[in-house]
Structures are given as C-alpha cells and as structure tokens.
Structure 1
C-alpha cells in the first residue's frame, strides 16, 4: 500500500479559529472590547487585559470586579475544485460551523495608593466546537486519488461513495496575575504573567466504500480513516506594560512574550486502512498523532500600543496597533515560516456619554495576517478581515455598570491555487454578542 499523505489531517479539526485577535489569541476578553474595540488606553477594570499598567491610575482605592459572558458563532466554508469530483464544474462545497454559546471571563483589581494588584480568568484562545458534517475537500480528494492509485485506475469516482465527518473542541484557558505601580503623576508600569492551559478533543472518520454492483470490489471498504484524539498542554506568558498619562492624552503599551506550548496527544484511535488492512506504525502518516507524541503550538508574542484622547469630558477616542510575532512562534510542521509577516491590526474606537447613566460606543478593526498559500489549507485557514462593534455601558447604580455589545467580522475570501485543475476558496463569518457587569466596592 502506498503512503497516504495525511500528515496534517488531525489538524483539520484542531484549528478552531479565534473570535477576535491573532491566529491563536482571543483579544475579546471583556465586553468593553466588543463595544469599542480600541481599549488599549483604557483606565478601567477591562484594562486588566487590555492596558494593565493603566490600572495604576484607577480613580479610587478599593476593589474592582467584572464578570463577562459572550456568545460567538462562526461559519467556515470551502469551495473546492478537483478533477475527480463529479459535481458540476468539478466543484464541491463544504460547510463548517464553530459555536461557543458561552465564553466566560472574570477580571479583578485591588488598588491601594500607588499599587494595584490584578488578576483575570478567560478563554484566551480557541473557545468552541467546530463541525464539518460532510468532511473536507482535502480529505475527499486525497482519498479519491489513493483509490485511483491502489486500484490501478479500475475504480473511478462514480463507483464508490465517501462518508466522512469530523468535529472538535479547543480551549486555551488563561489565569493572569500582575502588579501595577504609579511611578509619578504621569507614568504607570506593570509586570505580571499568565498561565495558559490547552485542552482539546477531536474525532473524525472517513470510509470510501465500493458500490455493491462493482465487480471484485463490490461492497468493500477501499480506504478507511478513524481518529479519536485528545490533546493537552500548558505554558507561561510573561507580560510587561507601561502607561503614560499626559493631560487629555493617555498612551498604553503592553508586551506579551511568546508562550512555548507543546500539545501532548492522548489518542484512543488513529488508524489508516486500505482494502480493509490497517497500516502499521512504520511510515504511518498519522504517526505524529499517536498517543504520547508532542506537537508545537506556541502562542505568539504580542505588542500593543494605543493612544487615547479626551475631546470633551463626555467624548473619548482611541487609536491602537497590535502586532503578533507569528513567524517566530513554533507551529505544527513549521508552517509559520510560510507567512509573509506577522499579524498587523489597526483599531479605532470612540465612546460618548450621552447621559449620566448611559455611554454609547463603536469601533473598527482591520486585520492582516500576512497569509501565503503554503500556510493555508482545509485543516487550518485564516482570512484577512475587518470587524465592527458597537454597544453601550449602562450605569445601573453608583457602583454597578452593565456593558452590552454586538460585534461582527467581514472576511476577505482567500483563493489557494494548488494546480491548474485544483483550487480552494476559503471564506468565513463571525458574530459575537456580549453582556457583562462591572462592580466597584
């Protein structure tokens, strides 16, 4: 039996995309981000993530708490063209759905004089379940090519049927702790870290079965693949920050170091079969996903810089930049080397206190991943995008504020040309709703 080139098939259900931010990072850790986006110069409880050094300038001593919940829904669609597909134009459509009905996050800060200690718990990457009920194009085309080869061309694509499906869940939970210090009237600094824990579960199968009326091969399983794999891993992220407060201007800076993260397989089944015979360990394309094997999945370093300005006591705006150092982070099969550059993000947002109890806000984000064909595949694809968000902060009492927001992303289609007769067009959608409460004791 020839080796089936499935070396990255497992990752097609591993790659559940983030809902806002870089390739592997969720930046939407507070509902205030959804309603304004550019929060890197914030001096409020959401700054625990977005601008931790700014916590040194919280207006009053005391305890600040925030609890947030978000619901996120994505679609991931692939339009695949392959010469052995029997549909019109040799084209098939594959639809995937990723959902996270509830993404929780918690932030807390305690300020005493010049010092502020802060902490948070959030889903910092992934955050849902993805399903492709009809499999994926790369799966089907790979197997169709293999069937053609092992049968010496005697079995054509109209002589058998393919049944496949796959789903998986991926979460990176983060617990952050740090300390902010007000150096003087205009400078605050921060040092801290985040412990990240990855957990994921993935299941998939494919069977290519000859039609019962086909001579010799009738009813036979031509090719079969079964996968049942869990992965876990953890890593630490050191974080530094600074905040410069100059009158109506505020500048927030943050740097998160790269997190070394290796995922260990806990595999119940990873089997490839041809003509009913299971392939051995030697040369097995799923060998990297056998039980106990580790796969690199580093969280890239992140630099954020934001400038906020208070036009009026009731009107504020922020311009922000993010850079994810994706090319320096280890990924499966070193695919990060194919990227043209790390992720660039430009964000702008504004908020207006239209009444003493009500603030409305909106924002825009443009994301450029530096994508290249060798980085993209059915198993893991990204699309450049722009995002819009809007919402409100409602002061329920002197101490209690409720944030509500809606956020959606518009993606650019990405076309990957594999050969003169084979190409894939990748597309996505993303919608997030958030509700949270902030409380000052």
Structure 2
C-alpha cells in the first residue's frame, strides 16, 4: 500500500509549458514571434525580449509601447498498455488518458524609450509555464500502481474500483528591465535583468475501494492540495551588429537559481504509516526549479526592400539547471532549437509572414513521467502586421506545434513487476494579437 501512496503523491505536479520554448522557458512573448518565429534579429518593439540590443537601431527617438494578448490550448495524451487493464472491462490492455491545458488570455507588455544612442526598455510577461492542466480520469501511473499492488493482495480488478483525478498549474511571471547603447554605426550592446516569480500548485486524489458487492470498504486514499511559490533573478546581456543588408544579434540569459516553497493546505493519507513518504510536499518544504541559461544567435537579411528573412538558433542548458530530485541528470543533452522566418510587405499597410521552428530535447525514459513529459516537435506560424497609421501597428498571428510521439516501455511498469508501455503525445495551438504604438 505504501507504494501506491508514494507514486501518487510524489508525482502530482504538472510542469509542461503551454507556450513555445524550452522545458521551463517561454519564447513567444509577442504576436510578431507567432507570425514569423525567427525574431532574434528583430529591430522593433518585440526586440525588448527577442533582441534587446537591437533597440538602439530603432529609426526614431521616443516612446515605443506594445500590448499583447495570447490564447493557448494544448492536449496531452498518454496511451497506456498494461495487462491488468484487460481484466477491468475485457476490451483490451490499452487505455487512453487525456489531459487538457488552456490559457484563454495571457497578457504581456513591452515598452522602450530611445534617446540618441541610449534606449531603456522594460517588459512584463509570463516567461515560463502559462496554464492549467487537468486529467479528469487520473493518470496511468496511479491506476497501474494500485492495480499491481492490489494483485499481490489477491484482489483482481473485478473486485475493486479505483478513482483518481488531478489538476496542475504553473506560471512564471517575469518583469524585465535593461539598457541598450549604440557604440557606433554598426554595434550596439545591452545589459539588463529579469525578476521571475513562480506561482503554481496541484490538487489530486486517488481512491481505491472494494466494489459494493464486497462491502465497499476503502483500500487506499490520497488527497493533496498544495500551492507553490518562488522567485529568482536572470541577468541578461546582448549584442547587435549591422552590416549593410545584414543584421546579426546574440543574447545570453544566465541560469536563474530558483527554489519553490510549498504552502500545503491538505495532505490526507490512508494508511497513516505512509505519511513520511509525503515529506517533500509538506508545508514549507523547498524544491529546486532553476530556469536554464539560454543562448540565442540570429541573422537577418534584407533580400529586397519589401522582403526580409531570418534564421536563428537557441540552446537551453537544461542539464545544468537544478530540478526536483536531480531529474536533470537523466537528460542526454540540453535542448536545441532551429528557427527560420520570412516576411513580405505586400502593400505599404500590410506585411505578411511565416516561420518554422524545430525543437530537439535530450529526452530519456528516466526523465519522462506521466505528469511531466516532453516531445520533440516542429512548429509553424503565420500572420500579418497591419500599419493602421504612422504611429499604430497591429500584429495578428496563429501558431501551432506538431509533436513526435514518445514511447516508453518498462519491464517494471510503475513498480508493478509487470511489463507495460506508455505512448506520450501532445498538441498545441496559440493565437496572438499585439498592438504597437510609437510617439
């Protein structure tokens, strides 16, 4: 019975980001990213995040302001194959567990003031996480572990009922401030920082009872309700180099050391002797949750006065970022992203664009869990920039991601001593709208 409780309580957190980017990093902070994707060499207000050094090359002095709203929707599916499932309904050994994550409205703000060679900039956005995930039927790790252990007690699946469900949420709010300086006609540099505030939590339960015909008595029970908070500072540096029709840019975000602290409202465990296993989730306990360092390198080229293209590379040093129980050590490498984008001024008032991103994680079976799994992917985005007048621009975009399924097979599935397989799959769709104003 202890094994059920340990597996259930110790894995109730859902930590997959809803946005684009690395394991704990969101890179889509503006609709310009969604419509073109490769914005690391941008010289526009979205550069407050993607290329802050390039702000010194803005064509006019004055204030630049931008408000962005995004809607993100994601599904997470686990197809679990486990022999004991056959005994429940006789329909097969596989079950589909589906979770939904949604963030109907995610706002962000970018602002800059340019005066001569100096530009001060600031932003506020959700820089990590960004949604809530719900698995209404629980997860295979709960059901399989309970079924395996109850089998050792002589109880077959037709003699009991297991109910479980879980919700998890995670947001990292980032407030950034920095200063850009144009050293000469072709070189600009940036230095700044971002204050990150983590807010998350999870609620879940597992309940195993004998069927009514056998008395309906309770075999196991977990109830867990916990909020988590934490904060950390990210130093940021950058540089931008302009040569004729070329623009080259680089940015480095240092690793953010961050611990998250529990504020636990409820832990109920049956049997009570298993309570020590829940120690990591008791009130006041701290868990490492570092944001990895990020290196971005980008190049943009003006093919024609009305046609521009960009390519970009991202590296997330995930293996050096502390995670709960040292989980990062199971990664085979840091994450690599390859981006490309193009935009065309169809008219003086309308610019249309599209982009591509490929994300390659260093995944392994030991790293992947039901509550926190990732899949290599590619993303496509398209949209438009509309010049409403000389001061006001509107960006509108749609962005979606196609994921590769990840198959994890274990000879000891969820510590049941029985072979089983999980196939992890995801979908992701994001719509964004940004309003940019200059005066």
Indicate the TM-score class for this superposition, using the shorter chain for normalisation: over 0.9
Matched, 1:100 2:103: yes
Work out which of the residue numbers 99, 115, 120 in structure 2 matches 1:117: 120
Matched, 1:57 2:45: no
1:75 aligned residue: 75
Matched, 1:325 2:317: yes
Judge conservation of contact 1:70–1:433 (CA < 8 Å) in 2.
Answer: yes
Matched, 1:148 2:148: no
Residue 146 of structure 1: how far off its partner (Å): 2.6
- CA distance, structure 2, for counterparts of residue 407 and residue 102 of structure 1: 15
1:354 aligned residue: 346
Judge conservation of contact 1:393–1:403 (CA < 8 Å) in 2.
Answer: yes
2:414 aligned residue: none
Query: Helix, strand or coil: the match of 2:326?
Result: helix
Query: Helix, strand or coil: the match of 1:84?
Result: helix
Bigger fraction of residues in helix: 2
Q: 1:409/1:3 Cα in 2 relative to 1: closer, same or farther (>3 Å)?
A: closer
Matched, 1:255 2:252: yes
Judge conservation of contact 1:44–1:55 (CA < 8 Å) in 2.
Answer: yes
Query: Helix, strand or coil: the match of 1:85?
Result: helix
Residue 91 of structure 1: how far off its partner (Å): 1.1
1:23 aligned residue: 23
Unaligned runs of 5+ in 1: none
1:386 aligned residue: 378
- CA distance, structure 2, for counterparts of residue 255 and residue 329 of structure 1: 15
Structure 1 segment 41-440 matched on structure 2, within 5 A: 41-86=41-86, 87=89, 88-149=91-152, 152-153=153-154, 155-214=155-214, 218-273=215-270, 277-279=271-273, 281=275, 284-419=276-411, 421-440=419-438
| 1:357-393: CA deviation from partner (whole Å, max 9, x where unpaired) | 0000000000001111110010210000000000000
Residue 11 of structure 1: how far off its partner (Å): 4.1
Residue 272 of structure 1: how far off its partner (Å): 2.5
Residue 17 of structure 1: how far off its partner (Å): 2.3
Residue 178 of structure 1: how far off its partner (Å): 0.2
Residue 10 of structure 1: how far off its partner (Å): 4.6
Query: Helix, strand or coil: the match of 2:212?
Result: coil
- CA distance, structure 2, for counterparts of residue 160 and residue 368 of structure 1: 42
- CA distance, structure 2, for counterparts of residue 318 and residue 9 of structure 1: 46
Query: Helix, strand or coil: the match of 1:34?
Result: helix
The CA RMSD measured in Å over matched residues stands at 1.3
Query: Helix, strand or coil: the match of 1:300?
Result: coil
Query: Helix, strand or coil: the match of 1:285?
Result: helix
- CA distance, structure 2, for counterparts of residue 293 and residue 280 of structure 1: 18
Judge conservation of contact 2:198–2:230 (CA < 8 Å) in 1.
Answer: yes
Residue 157 of structure 1: how far off its partner (Å): 1.1
Q: 1:18/1:325 Cα in 2 relative to 1: closer, same or farther (>3 Å)?
A: farther
- CA distance, structure 1, for counterparts of residue 146 and residue 281 of structure 2: 19
- CA distance, structure 1, for counterparts of residue 74 and residue 13 of structure 2: 14
- CA distance, structure 1, for counterparts of residue 44 and residue 12 of structure 2: 39
Unaligned runs of 5+ in 2: 412-417
- CA distance, structure 1, for counterparts of residue 162 and residue 3 of structure 2: 19
State the number of aligned residues: 430
